[in-house]
Amino acid sequence: MEELRNKKAFICDMDGVIYHGNRLLPGAKLFVDWLTAEGKPYLFLTNASERSPRELHEKLARLGVDVPTENFYTSALATAAFLASQCPGGSAYVIGEAGLINALYDVGFTMNDVNPDYVIVGESRNYNLDTLEHAVNLVLKGAKLIGTNPDLTGPVEKGITPATGALISPIELATGSKAYFVGKPNPLMMRHARRRLDTRREETVIVGDRMDTDVLSGIEAGLETVLVLSGVSTRETMNKFAYRPNYVLDGVGDIVGTSAK
C-alpha cells in the first residue's frame, strides 16, 4: 500500500468511486484532501457524459469536496475532440444531455435531425421510442453511429441504471451497424488523461469501480490499477475476467488509511 501512496499521479473514476447519485461515498473527501495536501496531480476521468466539468465541480462542491474544474475530463469532451478531428464542422443528431451537446457546440458541431454526419448517444433522460426510432432511420440513411462510452450500467443510489452501452444497443440491432465508443477503455481517453497530467506511465495509477472499463483501460495503457468495490464490480464478478487489478480495495479511503483487503 505504501508503494501505491507513493505514486506521483492519480487518474480516478467518479460514479461508484467518489459518489453514488447525490451521495458522497465513504472516504472520498479524505482521498481528495490527501491528493491536494500531497500536491499530487490528479484527474477525474469519467465515462459519464451528462455533465460538463463546471457542473461536476459544482456537484462535488455541494457534497463538500472542492475539485477545480480543470481536474475533470469526460467522455463527452473526448467524443467532441475525436469528432472535431474526424469531421471538422460536422453535424449530429444527439441523444444525450447538456454536457454532451455543449461539448459538441464548443468544437464547432451543429445539431441536425434531418441528415446529420453522426448519430451520437450518451446517457439521457430523454431517451424514448420516438428518439430511438428517429436515430435508427438516420443511421439507415447513412449517419455514422457513435457512443460516448460502452458502459452497460452505472451505479445510482437505488442500485443500477442502464447506461450508454445499453441505450445504444437497440440502434445497433435494428440497423446492423456497430457503434464506435470513445470513452474508456478506448485508449483515446487515456491519452488525453496522460497529456493533461504530464506524467510517465510508471508514475501514474488509475482508480475505478469497473473491471471492463477502468481496470482494462489501465492495463492496456501500462498503468497500475486499483479496483474499488464501492460501485459496479464485486469480488465475484472480478473473477470472471482474464485480467486482474494490482490492488482491490473497499473504497478510495483505503488508499489513504488502511491496507488492501
Annotated active-site positions, please?
Answer: 13, 15
Grid cell, residue 238, equals: 472480478
**Pairs from 57-63 (Cβ < 8 Å, separation ≥ 24):** 59/19, 59/22, 60/18, 60/19, 62/22, 63/19, 63/22, 63/24
CA distance 28 to 33: 9
CA distance 168 to 149: 10
Beta bridge partners of 247: 226
Grid cell, residue 37, equals: 495536501
Specify the DSSP class assigned to residue 257. S
CA distance 120 to 146: 5
Beta bridge partners of 29: none
Grid cell, residue 34, equals: 490527501
CA distance 121 to 105: 15
The 10 Å Cβ neighbour count of residue 242 is: 4
CA distance 191 to 185: 11
Of 222, 240, 89, 231, whose CA–CA distance to 160 is shortest? 231
